[in-house]
């Protein structure tokens, strides 16, 4: 299993990503966490994401899961072409829903178990790998999901990791630091383990299980 889990964007260790999944790729970018964003703004953000990955030397394209809602075999074929899936941040409940209705959730679980591809991403991308999404509704607006897809949020994660992920901690430049500090405190009060990440940090996994090591952010 190969995971590169960043708090924000590429984090401070892109060379580790290039070692985990060597360029030129190919890389498929999943940006469905921002499906609630107006189409023009969404397109601009996706273009920025593609540019960042291409800047590392990858051959990159978007994989919009909405194109495969009735095409699981086609989605499986697309995933089979990837050396790396890059799952960008946004609303974790929107992302979780689209992963479920497309069948990508189980395909990703199976692909990671067989090391068919590496998985990288930031914010919602790592968060969705946890066993659950409890407490993250303090940060991500579940009404975005209701407005966009007219469904109620689900709070189960993919279960690839054995603990919840809490990004953007101790990250003074990120607008969600304060609320996610409270989320982490609630996990602490409940005695529930979690993977806390500061912007710049990366959780790196390269082995038979999801056990990994923290690559800490560089001095700011």
pLDDT band at 219 (very low <50, low <70, confident <90, very high): confident
How far are the Cα atoms of 31, 33, 69, 141, 142 from residue 90, in angstroms, in the given order? 8, 5, 20, 10, 12
| Residue 95 to residue 75: CA distance in whole angstroms | 16
Residue 129 pLDDT > 70: yes
Would residue 220 count as lying in a domain?
A: no
| Residue 140 to residue 153: CA distance in whole angstroms | 11
Q: What is the mean pLDDT of the chain?
A: 97
Query: Residue 84: which domain range?
Result: 2-215
Contact at 8 Å (CB) between 56 and 49? no
| Residue 113 to residue 107: CA distance in whole angstroms | 10
pLDDT band at 210 (very low <50, low <70, confident <90, very high): confident
pTM metric for this prediction: 0.97
> In the chain, how many domains are there?
1
Q: Let me know how long the chain is.
A: 220
The sign one gets for the Cα dihedral 45, 42, 64, 150 is: positive
> Residue 151: its pLDDT value, please?
98
Would residue 211 count as lying in a domain?
A: yes
> Residue 77: its pLDDT value, please?
98
How far are the Cα atoms of 13, 117, 134, 201, 215 from residue 218, in angstroms, in the given order? 9, 27, 30, 8, 9
Q: How far is CA 202 from the centre of its chain?
A: 12
Return the structure tokens found at 159.
């279960």
| Residue 33 to residue 24: CA distance in whole angstroms | 25
pLDDT band at 220 (very low <50, low <70, confident <90, very high): low
Q: What is the mean pLDDT of residues 166-184?
A: 93
Give the CATH number, domain containing residue 109: 3.40.50.880
pLDDT band at 175 (very low <50, low <70, confident <90, very high): confident
Report the candidate in 63, 95, 101, 55 with the shortest Cα–Cα distance to residue 82: 63
Q: What is the DSSP letter of 156?
A: B
- 69-100 per-position pLDDT tens digit: 999 999 999 999 999 999 999 999 999 999 99
Strands, DSSP E only, in the chain? Answer: 2-6, 27-30, 60-62, 84-87, 118-122, 164-166, 194-196, 202-206, 213-215
Would residue 204 count as lying in a domain?
A: yes
Would residue 18 count as lying in a domain?
A: yes
> Residue 158: its pLDDT value, please?
98
Would residue 175 count as lying in a domain?
A: yes
> Residue 186: its pLDDT value, please?
97
Residue 173 pLDDT > 90: no
- 26-76 per-position pLDDT tens digit: 999 999 999 999 999 999 999 999 999 999 999 999 999 999 999 999 999
């Amino acid at each position: 299993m190969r995971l590169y889990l960043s708090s924000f964007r590429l984090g401070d260790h892109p060379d580790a990503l290039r070692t985990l999944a060597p360029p030129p790729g190919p890389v498929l970018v999943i940006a469905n966490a921002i499906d609630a964003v107006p189409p023009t703004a969404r397109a601009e953000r996706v273009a920025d994401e593609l540019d960042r990955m291409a800047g590392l030397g990858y051959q990159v394209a978007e994989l919009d899961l909405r194109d495969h809602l009735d095409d699981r075999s086609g989605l499986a074929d697309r995933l089979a072409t990837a050396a790396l899936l890059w799952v960008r941040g946004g609303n974790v409940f929107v992302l979780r829903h689209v992963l479920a209705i497309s069948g990508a959730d189980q395909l990703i679980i199976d692909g990671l178990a067989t090391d068919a591809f590496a998985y990288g991403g930031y914010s919602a991308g790592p968060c969705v790998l946890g066993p659950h999404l409890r407490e993250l509704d303090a940060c991500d607006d579940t009404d975005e999901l209701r407005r966009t897809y007219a469904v109620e949020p689900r709070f189960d994660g993919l279960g690839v990791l054995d603990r919840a992920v809490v990004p953007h901690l101790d990250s003074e430049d990120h607008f969600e630091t304060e609320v996610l500090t409270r989320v982490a405190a609630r996990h602490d009060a409940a005695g529930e383990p979690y993977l806390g990440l500061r912007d710049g940090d990366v959780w790196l996994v390269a082995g038979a299980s999801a056990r990994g090591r923290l690559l800490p952010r560089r001095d700011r």
